[in-house]
């Protein structure tokens, strides 16, 4: 928030209360100008320049690694 060149108005900084929004396991972490997804299982995705991409990584990880095979 103290950054000068931040994104425009309405930028929802994924603050500390960003848990439970998309999934119970994954979250996004900002590293400098990059953003990457992390999971409680220890997995972490590649650094992305957009938080949306990191969220996609997290969603894909959740689907591929934490989805329960209901029907086999
Ligand atoms: Zn995981």
pLDDT in tens, 47-57: 999 999 999 99
pTM of the predicted model as reported, rounded to 2 decimal places: 0.60
Residue 39 pLDDT grade (very low, low, confident, very high; cuts 50, 70, 90): very high
- Distance (angstroms) between ligand 1 centre and the Cα of 4 equals 34
- Does residue 28 surpass a pLDDT of 80? yes
Q: Which residues have beta carbons under 5 A from ligand 1 (an ion)? A: 39, 41, 43
Does the pLDDT at position 3 exceed 80? no
Task: Flag whether pLDDT at 46 surpasses 60.
Answer: yes
Q: How many degrees, rounded to 5, is the angle at CA 67 between CA 61 and CA 72? A: 135
Q: What are the structural domain ranges in the chain?
A: 26-65
For the cut 50, the answer to whether the pLDDT of residue 20 exceeds it is no
Q: Residue 44 class from Cβ within 10 Å (0-12 exposed, 13-18 middle, 19+ buried)?
A: middle
Phi/psi region, residue 42 (left: phi>0; alpha: psi -120 to 50; beta: rest), is: left
């Amino acid at each position: 928030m103290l950054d000068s060149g931040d994104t425009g108005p309405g930028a929802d900084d994924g603050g500390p209360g960003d848990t439970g929004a998309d999934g119970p396991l994954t979250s996004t972490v900002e590293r400098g100008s990059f953003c990457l997804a992390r999971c409680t299982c220890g997995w972490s995705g590649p650094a992305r320049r957009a938080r949306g991409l990191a969220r996609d990584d997290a969603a894909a990880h959740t689907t591929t690694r934490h989805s329960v095979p209901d029907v086999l």
